[in-house]
Chains A and B, each alone.
Chain A
C-alpha cells in the first residue's frame, strides 16, 4: 500500500490463474531443464537464422499482436509501436524469467498447431472472428492464458514505456492517452540494464 504499485509487481509473473509450479506441471511441457539457451540454439539450427524468432514466426507474431492490439482511428497498432522488436529486447534480457521466455518462444508454435487442428490454416490466414475463436480456445488452457496475458503485458510495455527502449516511437502511445511522462526521463547511462 501507500501508492506502491504492487499490482504490477505481482503481474511480473502472471499469477492470476496459476502459480509457476502448477503451470509447469499442468502444461506438462517444460521439465525445468529446458533453458532459453537450449531453445535458442535449437531454433538457430532449425531455421539457420538469428534467434529468437524466425521470419515466419515473426510474421505470425505480427498478426497475433495486431489482432490483440489493432489500429483504430486515433490509436496505433502493435506493429506501429514496434511490439516485436520490443519482445526481442525482452527475450535477450538475462533478468527476465526463463520460464516466461520459453513460453514466449514456444507459444507461437503451439498457437499455430491449434490453428491447424481447428481450422487447417495458419493464424495469419484466419478471419478476425476465427482469430478470436482460437484465442478463446487457448485461453482455456493454462499455457494459452499465460501466453496471451504475457504478450498483452509486453505490447502495453511497448506502448507506454520510454521510447529509449524501442517501443512507443515518437511518444505515440503517450500521446494517444494524453499521458505526461515524469521528469527526469531515463538516459543511456541511467536506463534499465545500463549498469
Chain B
C-alpha cells in the first residue's frame, strides 16, 4: 500500500514535536497537522492586548468552546458552555501549541510518582494505579530534554532530589532577582531547603537560539529570542531543516479513519477555507492536549471502533487529571526597606526561580498517614499592567471607581512587589473527572465539542492546604504583608493530563506501555493523556521526555 507519509502527527505542541524531530532526523517522512496558525518568532511581541485580552492565541469562544460540568448545590452535575460563562479552557492554538506560551518552570517527576499505588496505598474514591514504566525508564529522556530542548538550572542537595545520570544541568541557571536571597534566608531560618527552579529557558546563546533577554513577559507570551524551549523553536524548526518534515497549519483534524482491521488509515481535516482534506500514513500520532485528544478519538468512529477509536473498553476520556493545588501571595512593601533595598526590589525581568520540595512526601503525624505531597514554586505576580489594574476594580462594597479606584491602582503598582507562590500536588484520578462528547453543543464546523466533568477528590485540597501553609510561613518569615492563599478544586486549564492512560490491562487503560493504543496497531498518543497519575509538578518536561521515548519506539518499527 502507498502512504503519503511515514508518520502523521496531529497537534504540534510539546507532545507532538519530539516525534517530528526524532523521526525526521532519522530520515522518515513526517507531516504535522495543526489546527492553529503558524506564528514565527518575529511575530511575538510583548503586547498585552493581543496576548491576553483578546482571543488571538486561542479560538474565539463563539466558534469553538467547551462544556464544563460542575456540581450545583443539590449535588447535580450541571454543564454550561464556556461561551456562556466566559471561562475559557483553551490554551495555545498555534504551531508549537501552548508550549509557546509556557513559563518553562520545569521539574522532573520523582521515582515514587511512577508507583503511587504501591508506595502510598489506595485512597477511597480515587483510581490510583502504578505506571507500567519506572523512573529509570524515563531518566535518559529527561536528560535528553535538558540537552535538546535546553533546560537551565543548578543542582543543590535536598531531601527529595531525584536520581540523575548527569551531575548538573547542561545550561547554567538563568539570572536571578535579588529577592531570592530573602527567600533563601527565610527558608534557612525555617529549616527548609529552597532550590533553584529549573527552567526550559536558555541562559546563553546555544542550540542555534538566542539567550533569554529577561523580557519580564514570559508566561502567556511567545518568546522573541527563542530562548524559551517551546516545541516550535526547539524541535519543529530543526525538524523542518531536515527537509523531511512538513507542517500544515490551519488543519483541524476531525476524524481518524480506520479500516476493517482497526488500523488508522487517514486523518481527515478542514483546511483554512473549510474544505475537507485527508492524509494517509503508516503510523499516526495524536497530541492535541489531553481533552482534545480524547475528543478526537471519540469522534473517530469506525467499523472496529463503534464507540470511538481505541475506546472498545470505554476508557477514552476517563481519569482526566489536572494539576491540583492553587496559589497565594504576600506583599513585600517598600515602606519596610531602605532605599538601596527598594532599588533592588524594583528590578524587573530577572527570575525568582525558587522552589520547595521538602514535602514532596508528607511524613507528618499532624497530617495523617504518610502521603504524597507536592511542590511550591515562588514567582512575582505577572507584569501585565491591564489585568493588574482591572483586578483593582472591585472595592469593599462592589465595583469601585473614581478616586478610590485610582488610589487602589496607584498603591498596587507603586508601593511594593507582589510575591506569589504556586502549589502543585496530585489531582487524584476519579470517576468524576472525564471527557465526553457534548450531545448538543457543536463547534463552527458542526462537530460535537468536548464536555468536561470537573470533579476532584477532597484529599487534593487537604494536601494543597498543607503545602500552602508551608509557603505562607516563608512569606511570613520574609516580613511580607497581606498574605493569603487559595486552594481549590478549580482545575487550571493549561495543566491537564490523563484521559487515555497507559497500563498493562486493556480493560482499565487505553494505551500500552509504549503509548500505543491497545487495539489500534498504528496509533500512538504522546501528549500528557498517557499519564495515569500526574505527579506533583507541571507536566511539560515529562511530556517531552515521554514523547522522545515513544519516538525511539516508533523509529525502531519503521
CB distance from A74 to the nearest CB of B (A): 8
User: Does the CB pair B393–A152 fall under 8 Å?
Assistant: yes
Q: Chain B contact residues (Cβ within 8 angstroms of A): what range?
A: 35 or more
B215 interfacial contact with A, CB 8 Å: yes
User: Does the CB pair A20–B85 fall under 8 Å?
Assistant: yes
Chain A window 1-35, contacts with chain B (Cβ cutoff 8 Å), 1 for yes, 0 for no? 11111111111111110011100000000000000
Q: With A and B bound together, what is the CA distance between A185 and B355 in angstroms? A: 31
- Chain B residues near A12: list those with CB within 8 A: 53-55, 86, 88
Indicate which residue in B61, B87, B218, B348 contacts A180 across the interface (CB closer than 8 Å): B348
Closest to B46 in A: A182
Q: With A and B bound together, what is the CA distance between A13 and B390 in angstroms? A: 13
User: Does the CB pair B492–A4 fall under 8 Å?
Assistant: yes
Q: With A and B bound together, what is the CA distance between A19 and B414 in angstroms? A: 34
Q: With A and B bound together, what is the CA distance between A15 and B538 in angstroms? A: 27
Indicate which residue in A13, A97, A191 contacts B50 across the interface (CB closer than 8 Å): A191
Q: With A and B bound together, what is the CA distance between A69 and B405 in angstroms? A: 8
User: Does the CB pair B390–A11 fall under 8 Å?
Assistant: yes
- Chain A residues near B383: list those with CB within 8 A: 182
- Chain A residues near B389: list those with CB within 8 A: 156, 159-160, 177
Q: With A and B bound together, what is the CA distance between A8 and B443 in angstroms? A: 24
A117 interfacial contact with B, CB 8 Å: no
Q: With A and B bound together, what is the CA distance between A148 and B394 in angstroms? A: 11
CB distance from A155 to the nearest CB of B (A): 9
- Chain A residues near B48: list those with CB within 8 A: 160-162
Q: With A and B bound together, what is the CA distance between A5 and B50 in angstroms? A: 13
A44 interfacial contact with B, CB 8 Å: no
Given the known inter-chain contacts A4-B494, A148-B399, please indicate yes or no for A10 contacting B47, CB distance below 8 A. no
- Chain A residues near B379: list those with CB within 8 A: 3
B52 interfacial contact with A, CB 8 Å: yes
- Chain A residues near B494: list those with CB within 8 A: 1-2, 4, 6
Considering the complex, which residues of chain A in the window 127-174 have a beta carbon less than 8 Å from any beta carbon of chain B? Answer: 132, 135-136, 139, 145, 148-149, 152-153, 156-157, 159-162, 165, 173-174
User: Does the CB pair B86–A177 fall under 8 Å?
Assistant: no
- Chain B residues near A93: list those with CB within 8 A: 54
User: Does the CB pair B88–A67 fall under 8 Å?
Assistant: no
User: Does the CB pair A15–B87 fall under 8 Å?
Assistant: yes
Closest to B422 in A: A1
User: Does the CB pair B403–A186 fall under 8 Å?
Assistant: no
B43 interfacial contact with A, CB 8 Å: yes
Chain B window 196-226, contacts with chain A (Cβ cutoff 8 Å), 1 for yes, 0 for no? 0000000000000000010111111100100
20 further A-B pairs in the complex, CB-CB below 8 A; given A1-B494, A7-B391, A8-B387 = A1-B422, A2-B102, A2-B377, A3-B103, A5-B382, A6-B492, A11-B390, A12-B55, A15-B87, A19-B85, A21-B80, A67-B401, A68-B401, A75-B410, A152-B399, A180-B216, A183-B46, A190-B47, A191-B50, A192-B47
